[in-house]
Structure 1
Amino acid sequence: MEIEKPYSHEAQDNSKSQFVRWFREVAPYVHAFRGKTFIIAFNGELIQDGILNTLVQDLSLLSALGIRLVLIYGSGPQINEQLRLKGLPQNFNGCLLKPTDSASLECAKEAAGEIRLDIEASFSQGLPNTPMSHSQIRVISGNFITASPVGIVNGIDFQHTGKVRKVDTESIRSAIEKGSSVVLLSPLGFSPTGDAFHLSMEELAANTAIALRAEKLIFLSSSSGLINKNGSIDAEIARAKAELLIKNNDIDNETKKFLENAALAVKKGVARAHILPYSMDGSVLLEIFTHDGVGNMIVEDNLDDLRAATIDDVGAIVSLIEPLESDGTLIPRPKSLIERDLENFTVLEHDGIIYGCAALYIFEEEKMAELACLIVHPEWQSSGEGELLLRHVESKAKKLGLDYLFALTTRTSHWFLKRGFIKGNIKDLPKEKQNNYNRSRNSLIFIKKFSFIKTIGV
């Protein structure tokens, strides 16, 4: 008979150290997002699939961390159920815009009221030894949305289907800034004449995020998200690429609708928009508090300005590098060396002018990469171009399956520290780089790991 071994002190110590390391690494995200507004939007399928209570537990944690929340829900399956009970045709399937007759509008009102009560009940939980223990979150809902009718489109009268006319941002901000309160918006809006209209949840979420200048718009989807050519989740999608995917029309209706409104929100000033699988436990927390995330993130990056270097760019790259070589910031690189390594370079171009560059050198054996020659012309600095180059290089390294990015610098240590790098030493470098390290320059070494999830065994 095999006797189960007790949990060792060594395992306990390892578990504790992993937790401490994880908690410390999460801290920058907590600081960054405190006081920021997040829009969390989901369709009625999430509720139908029994995910609501788990989601609310995660959202209550975000609220406790000082993140201001606006929740927006859809109600398609619930409307269909009300229609079924009344013996009426069920036509609220998918995400396509559909007419809403008087009977369907009444069902939409009933479904919205039922869901609102379910959400309020979920936020009212407070059982000991659960994530909701000591939670006291107030759910505030009301007539925050002014709507107008869609009208007649291509000869079809959409009747009581509406579109967002105005978001009462002042009242919403007043509600979410009062501590532990979240605002809940139903897919209904009201006209100045007192008429009610059924709204698209996705369009409502995008318009609300834009009006509130939200930090994040998060859509929770029944699908796994958009997959790249390597078969993994496409973690970061530039808005231009998102619009191309929409135009090609080779994605499912739900994802297409989310992507359309995510791209619109980012175009109109929302910092980030995300599409996450709600079937993954804790997907909202993983997306917000880990570097890699678990879903699709849509960003505004203008990829027209960002491209791989060509032989015609060598002269411009040399011109960017020369002033920094002269003052000792960078080691001298002859033109021949840049030509040899050209495939490692990315450039920023605007109106035919190269105003920034960066190079990525791969060390496959150690699953590491070096960020080198990150330069932005002085006239273009302080506008986020360096950040853009860094994100591009990081994304490229991650897609290659690498775990670490490192940089050597003598003048810009604070810039790297602010962007998640930590100070390292020569022994942390790949063997080839250790052998070539120029000790006379005494460059500082900064290292960034792409995913701390792997390091804590989650």
Structure 2
Amino acid sequence: MDQQTDYVKWFRNSAPYINAHRGKTFVLMIPGEAVADPNFANIVHDIALLNSLGVQMVLTHGARPQIEELVTNSGMESRFHNGMRITDLPELKCVTSAAGNLRAEIESLLSMGIANSPMHGAAIRICSGNFVTAKPIGVLDGVDFRYTGLVRKIDAGAIRDDLQQRNIVLLSPLGYSPTGEIFNLTGEDVAVHAAQALQADKLIIFTGDEGLMDAEGQLIRQCEYRDVNALVAANNNLAYNNSVQAVVNSGSAGIKRCHMISYQQDGALLQELFTRDGAGTLITQEHYEQLHTADIDDVGGILGIIEPLEEKGILLKRSREVLETEINQFKVIERDGMVIACAALYPYPEQSTGEIACVATHADYRGADRAERLLQQLEKDARKMGLKQVFVLTTQTAHWFQEQGYVQCSIDSLPPAKKKLYNLQRNSKVFQKTL
């Protein structure tokens, strides 16, 4: 019964993500190592599920280990410069063979529909073609890379036509030139350019790790592109940098959201997309509006936001003196030196809970999810403090907090110290969220 209850709860909690992802365009980068991994069949099942939920997908795949195996079996020796393969004509035959075999394998797995399997009734159509125009790398450091190339152009219009027909588009690491030549590309280069050309909502990169790891080997759950640059500069592991460099390139290409997840972990794709904490690393663009802990210089800006709301009775009145003593409890969003949103967290560690208060946005900047961003940051801070839940008291914003996952509860659920200060005349409603 407990497992059934957990499943129902998870399924209900995933509904907002299902609605949010429907009709969106995702580019998935699947390295050759992932296709060879035993978990790849499960990844295919999850891709089929996303397709059934209305997600538009472009799959790009690599072929490094498969190419290397064919080159070795042919009695040739691979040559690299700066981590890039030098592709002569005999090796190009290995590249096209490996890419063709992988494309056929992926297409066959996505075409399965046997009864009593996750693919039953999926009826997925896969589209491949000459969507990628390439150019040669040419000569670098005196080295001629021959048939190793770079993406020159992605036929975004043709890909969109297929996506609108609910087809999955599959791009191999091959590109074609107007002169009829074939070039060996990296799957990461194809993925980044495809995501940029399509203005994709997400680029999802499968890696051998859980995601982006810090210097201590711990998973980084979320960061901004600018943080990745510093990590790349300190990381000399080229095998690791194939994926990480793709993330850096994604940031430069203006891709809004990039995810790194493990191809070895069953269900990582679904967990990353349909749960709050995810399974890997989410990398986002740097906000030109900065969120930071408030200091004494922000008091005037906060007062300018909350005083009109206090006059309307939406917020409790705070004097400048009180605000100055509590300023470190506040987070603010600042734009061009102006505080445009604020919120505060007051912990009650004895009860493993905390109060979120004074969530407010300047009247000229409402309607752009700034309050949600502040709320998410305070919830993250509360988790770092070891708090198990947070609560709010509100008179006029109950529906908004319910939309953020808060559930109404009784006054008796408040910490004793807060309960003593409860204003019966104000009659605020209490909402709580488990972290």
1:411 pairs with 385, 389, 396, which one? 396
In 2, Cα distance between equivalents of 1:229 and 1:331? 44
Correspondence 1:182 to 2:171: no
In 1, Cα distance between equivalents of 2:352 and 2:214? 21
Please say if residues 358 and 371 of structure 1, whose CA atoms lie closer than 8 Å, have aligned partners that are also in contact. yes
In 2, Cα distance between equivalents of 1:229 and 1:445? 42
Report what 2:133 is aligned to.
Answer: 146
Report the more deviating stretch, 405-414 or 326-335.
405-414
Please say if residues 394 and 428 of structure 2, whose CA atoms lie closer than 8 Å, have aligned partners that are also in contact. yes
Which residues of 2 match residues 102-117 of structure 1 at below 5 A?
Answer: 102-117=89-104
Please say if residues 361 and 370 of structure 1, whose CA atoms lie closer than 8 Å, have aligned partners that are also in contact. yes
In 2, Cα distance between equivalents of 1:361 and 1:267? 38
Secondary structure, in 3 states, of the residue corresponding to 1:134? Answer: coil
Question: Per the alignment, do residues 431 and 215 of structure 1 end up closer, same or farther by CA in structure 2, a change over 3 Å counting?
Answer: farther
Correspondence 1:39 to 2:27: yes
1:234 pairs with 191, 211, 220, which one? 220
Secondary structure, in 3 states, of the residue corresponding to 1:115? Answer: helix
Secondary structure, in 3 states, of the residue corresponding to 1:243? Answer: helix
Please say if residues 18 and 53 of structure 2, whose CA atoms lie closer than 8 Å, have aligned partners that are also in contact. yes
Gaps of 5+ in 1: 1-11, 451-458
Correspondence 1:22 to 2:10: yes
Please say if residues 80 and 92 of structure 1, whose CA atoms lie closer than 8 Å, have aligned partners that are also in contact. no
Report the residue type matching 1:404 in the other structure: Q
Report what 1:157 is aligned to.
Answer: 144
Report what 2:384 is aligned to.
Answer: 399
Shift of 1:144: 0.7
> In the TM superposition, what whole-angstrom CA distance separates every residue of 1:226-276 from its partner, at most 9, and x where no partner exists?
345897532110222222322x32364344333333344355443321001
Secondary structure, in 3 states, of the residue corresponding to 1:193? Answer: coil
Please say if residues 290 and 335 of structure 2, whose CA atoms lie closer than 8 Å, have aligned partners that are also in contact. yes
Which residues of 2 match residues 347-358 of structure 1 at below 5 A?
Answer: 347-358=332-343
- TM-score (norm: length of structure 2): 0.92
Report what 1:100 is aligned to.
Answer: 87
Report what 1:123 is aligned to.
Answer: 110
Cα RMSD (Å):
2.4
Secondary structure, in 3 states, of the residue corresponding to 1:121? Answer: helix
In 2, Cα distance between equivalents of 1:108 and 1:286? 33
Report what 1:172 is aligned to.
Answer: 159
Report the residue type matching 2:402 in the other structure: L
Please say if residues 28 and 204 of structure 2, whose CA atoms lie closer than 8 Å, have aligned partners that are also in contact. yes
Report what 1:5 is aligned to.
Answer: none
Report what 2:70 is aligned to.
Answer: 82
- TM-score (norm: length of structure 1): 0.87
Secondary structure, in 3 states, of the residue corresponding to 2:29? Answer: strand
Please say if residues 29 and 61 of structure 2, whose CA atoms lie closer than 8 Å, have aligned partners that are also in contact. yes
Shift of 1:438: 2.6
Which residues of 2 match residues 178-327 of structure 1 at below 5 A?
Answer: 178-179=165-166, 181-227=167-213, 232-246=218-232, 248-250=233-235, 252-266=237-251, 268-302=253-287, 305-327=290-312
> In the TM superposition, what whole-angstrom CA distance separates every residue of 1:372-402 from its partner, at most 9, and x where no partner exists?
2222222222334333323322332333444
Shift of 1:186: 0.4
Report what 2:40 is aligned to.
Answer: 52
Report what 1:61 is aligned to.
Answer: 49
Please say if residues 79 and 86 of structure 2, whose CA atoms lie closer than 8 Å, have aligned partners that are also in contact. no
Report the residue type matching 2:158 in the other structure: S
Correspondence 1:440 to 2:429: no
Report the more deviating stretch, 270-279 or 404-413.
404-413
Gaps of 5+ in 2: none
> In the TM superposition, what whole-angstrom CA distance separates every residue of 1:357-378 from its partner, at most 9, and x where no partner exists?
2212223344433322222222
Report the more deviating stretch, 145-154 or 215-224.
145-154
Aligned length: 435
> In the TM superposition, what whole-angstrom CA distance separates every residue of 1:55-110 from its partner, at most 9, and x where no partner exists?
101111111111111111100000000101111113579x9333322222211101
Question: Per the alignment, do residues 155 and 273 of structure 1 end up closer, same or farther by CA in structure 2, a change over 3 Å counting?
Answer: same
Secondary structure, in 3 states, of the residue corresponding to 1:184? Answer: strand
Question: Per the alignment, do residues 362 and 184 of structure 1 end up closer, same or farther by CA in structure 2, a change over 3 Å counting?
Answer: same
Please say if residues 78 and 85 of structure 2, whose CA atoms lie closer than 8 Å, have aligned partners that are also in contact. no
Which residues of 2 match residues 326-341 of structure 1 at below 5 A?
Answer: 326-341=311-326
Question: Per the alignment, do residues 363 and 92 of structure 1 end up closer, same or farther by CA in structure 2, a change over 3 Å counting?
Answer: farther
In 2, Cα distance between equivalents of 1:321 and 1:307? 18
Report the more deviating stretch, 416-425 or 319-328.
416-425
In 2, Cα distance between equivalents of 1:159 and 1:425? 72
Secondary structure, in 3 states, of the residue corresponding to 2:129? Answer: coil
Report the residue type matching 2:114 in the other structure: L
Question: Per the alignment, do residues 447 and 100 of structure 1 end up closer, same or farther by CA in structure 2, a change over 3 Å counting?
Answer: farther
Which residues of 2 match residues 347-386 of structure 1 at below 5 A?
Answer: 347-386=332-371
